[in-house]
Structure 1
Amino acid sequence: MNRRPLFVAAAAVGVLATAAFALPNLPPNLVADKIDSAVYKEAGERFASAADAPTREQAPFALPSWIPKDATDVRVRIPTSGEAKMIRFTLGATPLDGPQCDTGTPKPMGAPALHAKWWPDNLPEGMQAECRGAHQYQVAVRGKQVYAWTDGTPSPSSVEPRDGAAPAPRTQG
C-alpha cells in the first residue's frame, strides 16, 4: 500500500490549517492585505503615532482632527467602498476632551460592520462620547485605549440645511 499520497494530503491540510491561524495575526503584508481586500472588502493601516497618519481629510486613512497628535499605536480599518471607519489608538499626555467631543449621551449608531482582531466585541456598552469632524464618531475610552467608529454619518456642522435656510456660519477651530 502506497502511503505517500496520504502523507502529502495530511501535510497539505496541516499547512493550510497553520496558514488559517497565522495569517490574521501577521503584521500587515501583501498576502494578508489581498485576503482582506478580496474576502472582507476592507483595508487596514497602522501608524506609530497620529502624526504619521495622512493629513488630507479626503485620504482614506486620514484621522479626524479631534484625535490628539501625541496619540500612539494608531490602527485604522475602512471598507474598500463607503465612509465607515474604525480607529483605535493609545492616548498620550493630551486628554481626549477637545471642543469637538461631547460627553453627553451619544446618539445610537450601532456597532461597526468592519472586522479587526484588535476591536473588542462588547464595545458599544462602553460609549462615552460623540466626537465630530467631517463625520460623527462614537467613542469609548478604556484606560488609555480609545476606540472610535463611524458609519459615515456626516457631522451636523458639515451638512448644509435641507430646508433652504441659510447655512450656519462655520467657525475656525
Structure 2
Amino acid sequence: MSTDTRPTTARRTLRIALASTAAVSALLLTAGCSAIQDIVPNKTPQKHFDAYSDAPRSGESEDLAFFMPKWVPEDAKDIDVRLHVSQPGYVIGFASKDGVDVDDCTPLDESYGGTAMTADFLPEELPTKGLVTCGDGRAVTEIDGRWYGWTTKDAIPGQDDTQTMHGTEH
C-alpha cells in the first residue's frame, strides 16, 4: 500500500498564512512603533513651527489643518499646534511680544466645558475666567507670558463653527 504524504491544498494555504503572519509580526516587532503609526493614522497630530512665517495660512498650503488662526499675531514664535482630525479639537500655544489683540475678541462668561483635547504643551491648569474668543469658536488666554487657544468641549454660541468642527457629523 502506498500512502500519499503530500500536503493538501488546504494545508499548504494554512502554512503560507501562518508563515506570513509570523513574518509580519516579526517585522512589526523589529520596526517598532513607527511602522504601526504608518499603518494606523494619527488622529491627533501635533506640529511645531519656529515662527509665524513657517506656519501655513488658510488658502496657501496643502497642510491647511495646521493653519494659523487670524487672531495669531505675525510676531508669534515657538508655535505648537495639536488637532483632532475627525472631531472638535484644536490647541495652539505660542510666544508673542505683541500678543493677541483682545480688543477684537469677545469676553467669555464661562469655560464652555474646558478644552476638547489635551496637549503636552498646555499648562496643567487652564483658567476658567478671563477667557476671550476671537470669532473662531476657540477660547484664548495668556498664561505666564505665553498665549494659548483651544477648542472648547461645548460650542461657543455665535462663533464660526467651521473652524472647530462643532455642529458637524463625525
Fold agreement, TM-score > 0.5: yes
* Poorly superposed stretches of 4+, deviation over 3 Å: 37-40, 104-107, 151-155
2:99 counterpart residue number: 95
Higher mean displacement: 83-92 or 50-59: 50-59
Q: Say whether 1:156 aligns with 2:161.
A: no
Determine the C-alpha separation between the residues in 2 that align with 1:97 and 1:55.
Answer: 18
Structure 1 residue 158: Cα displacement: 4.0
Question: Structure 1 counterpart of 2:80, which letter?
Answer: R
Question: Structure 2 counterpart of 1:112, which letter?
Answer: T
- Mapping of residues 78-157 of structure 1, within 5 Å: 78-92=83-97, 94-102=98-106, 104-125=107-128, 127-133=129-135, 135-151=136-152, 153=155, 156=158
Conservation of the 8 A alpha-carbon contact between 1:48 and 1:72: yes
Cα RMSD of the aligned pairs, angstroms, is 3.3
What's the secondary structure of 1:74's corresponding residue? strand
Using structure 2 for the length normalisation, give the TM-score. 0.59
Q: Say whether 1:75 aligns with 2:67.
A: no
Question: Structure 1 counterpart of 2:150, which letter?
Answer: W
Gaps of 5+ in 1: 1-18, 24-30, 160-173
Aligned length: 126
Structure 1 residue 154: Cα displacement: 6.9
Structure with larger Rg: 2
Instruction: Name the structure with the higher strand share.
Output: 1
Between the two proteins, what is the percent identity of the paired residues?
Answer: 25
Gaps of 5+ in 2: 1-31, 162-170
